């Protein structure tokens, strides 16, 4: 109390201000607090939650060099009235002490001050237990042409949470129709011209979707020994892999396996049944949402 704040030349540190460093910035710090709206406020704020006084009007009429100021503050607090210099919007530096008045049990106060027309005034409330408030918004004696017509107190409205965004619908899967297998002649592992046509369709898909990987599985009919058929199935898978390599498909996108005669597609023993068994199947992996429809083509069946 009884300070002349406008005479301050600055402070070594101001814990309440983050932006500018002029004298006004240190005097006002980071702006006014909103009014107290909670019984817990006295314990959880740095200024002990003493509300700044609020004048009833932004301009009080002058009569004979004096004016009667009125307003509200915390009940029972002492209200110190100060002259203000260097008005910045609603606030300014407190300069010269004018008088003190006490707020009654309802928080109302009224005081006569001697001040010429155009004098700017502010007030600070002091409580013997809880300390001193921030300066109030300024008021004026007489007419203040460029000032607002009502007191301005900072808003304490709680910001509303933004509405929840609508969930994005997953994209429709892209459907691909891809040949599943190629076929081989009896005891052979070379790619026939008809099988090459099917392979070229598979290559086109692999080129368009470079993230797709493929497992090539070699199979045989049930004739001959298990060991022989296992080796023959591997040669057929390798033949398909080599064809893809020659067309520019990277080796790291491919894996080969041989199942020999263990996974037949037919239980019969006719020429067509055995021709269907002699094959390399293409199993596509890492399709990333693609919906793949496999086509079991038989345009390259090779009968004995």
Ordered by start, the domain boundaries in the chain are: 5-141, 175-295
Q: Taking residues 80-105, report their average pLDDT.
A: 88
- 60-64-69 Cα angle (round to 5): 25
Instruction: Look at residue 265 in the predicted model and tell me its pLDDT.
Output: 93
d(CA 217, CA 60): 95
Q: Which residues contact 117 (CB under 8 A, 6 or more apart)?
A: 62, 141, 142, 143
Of residues 157 and 90, more confidently modeled: 90
Q: How far apart are the first and last CA of the chain?
A: 112
d(CA 128, CA 131): 6
Instruction: Look at residue 80 in the predicted model and tell me its pLDDT.
Output: 94
pTM, rounded to two decimals: 0.45
Least confident range of 47-56, 64-73, 90-99: 47-56
d(CA 209, CA 290): 10
Q: Taking residues 286-295, report their average pLDDT.
A: 79
Instruction: Look at residue 14 in the predicted model and tell me its pLDDT.
Output: 41
The CATH architecture annotation of domain 175-295 reads 2-Layer Sandwich (3.30)
Q: What is the pLDDT of residues 104-119, one digit of tens each?
A: 999 999 999 998 888 9
Q: Residue 90 pLDDT more than 60?
A: yes
Cα 24 versus chain centre, distance: 36
- Four-CA torsion 178, 181, 184, 190, nearest 10 degrees: 60
Q: Taking residues 58-70, report their average pLDDT.
A: 89
DSSP assignment of 145-203: TTS-SS------PPPPPPPPPPPPPPPPPPEEEEE-EEE--TT--SPPHHHHHHHHHHH
Least confident range of 28-32, 93-97, 281-285: 28-32
Query: 173: pLDDT confidence band, cut at 50, 70 and 90?
Result: low
Instruction: Look at residue 65 in the predicted model and tell me its pLDDT.
Output: 84
Residue 303, Cβ neighbours under 10 Å: how many?
11
- Nearest-CA neighbor of 108 among 61, 53, 32? 53
Q: Which residue bears the tokens 């301009």? A: 59
> Is 5-141 a domain of CATH 3.30.365.10?
no
In the beta sheet, which residues pair with residue 257?
217
Report the chain's mean pLDDT, rounded to a whole number.
Answer: 82
Instruction: Look at residue 219 in the predicted model and tell me its pLDDT.
Output: 97
Q: What is the pLDDT of residues 215-267, one digit of tens each?
A: 999 999 999 999 999 999 999 999 999 999 999 999 999 999 999 999 999 88
Q: Taking residues 8-21, report their average pLDDT.
A: 48
d(CA 93, CA 134): 12
Q: Residue 140 pLDDT more than 80?
A: yes
Q: Taking residues 154-181, report their average pLDDT.
A: 76
Element (H, E) at 210: none
Query: 171: pLDDT confidence band, cut at 50, 70 and 90?
Result: low
- Which ranges of the chain would DSSP assign to H, the alpha helix? 23-28, 41-44, 193-208, 226-246, 271-277
Query: 192: pLDDT confidence band, cut at 50, 70 and 90?
Result: very high
Residue % of the chain over a pLDDT of 90: 50
């Amino acid at each position: 109390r009884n300070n002349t704040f406008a005479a301050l030349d600055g402070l070594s540190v101001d814990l309440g201000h983050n932006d500018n460093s002029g004298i006004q910035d240190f005097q006002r710090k980071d702006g006014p607090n909103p009014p107290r709206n909670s019984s817990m406020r006295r314990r959880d704020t740095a200024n002990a939650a003493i509300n700044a006084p609020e004048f009833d009007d932004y301009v009080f009429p002058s009569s004979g060099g004096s004016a009667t100021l009125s307003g509200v503050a915390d009940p029972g607090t002492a209200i110190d009235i100060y002259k203000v210099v260097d008005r910045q919007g609603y606030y300014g530096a407190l300069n010269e002490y004018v008088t003190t008045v006490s707020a009654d049990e309802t928080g109302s106060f009224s005081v006569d001050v001697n001040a010429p027309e155009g004098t700017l005034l502010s007030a600070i409330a002091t409580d013997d237990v809880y300390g001193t408030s921030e300066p109030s918004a300024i008021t004026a004696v007489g007419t203040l042409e460029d000032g607002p017509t009502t007191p301005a107190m900072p808003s304490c409205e709680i910001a509303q949470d933004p509405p929840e965004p609508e969930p994005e619908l997953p994209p429709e899967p892209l459907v691909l129709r891809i040949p599943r297998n190629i076929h081989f002649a009896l005891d052979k592992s070379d790619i026939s011209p008809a099988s090459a046509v099917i392979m070229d369709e598979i290559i086109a898909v692999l080129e368009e979707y470079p993230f797709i990987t493929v497992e090539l599985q070699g199979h045989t009919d049930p004739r001959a020994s298990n060991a022989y058929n296992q080796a023959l199935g591997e040669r057929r898978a390798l033949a398909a892999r080599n064809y893809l390599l020659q067309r520019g498909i990277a080796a790291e996108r491919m894996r080969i396996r041989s199942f020999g005669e263990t996974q037949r597609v037919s239980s019969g023993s006719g020429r067509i049944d055995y021709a269907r068994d002699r094959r390399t199947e293409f199993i596509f992996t890492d399709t990333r949402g693609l919906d793949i429809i496999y086509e079991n083509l038989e345009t390259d069946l090779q009968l004995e």
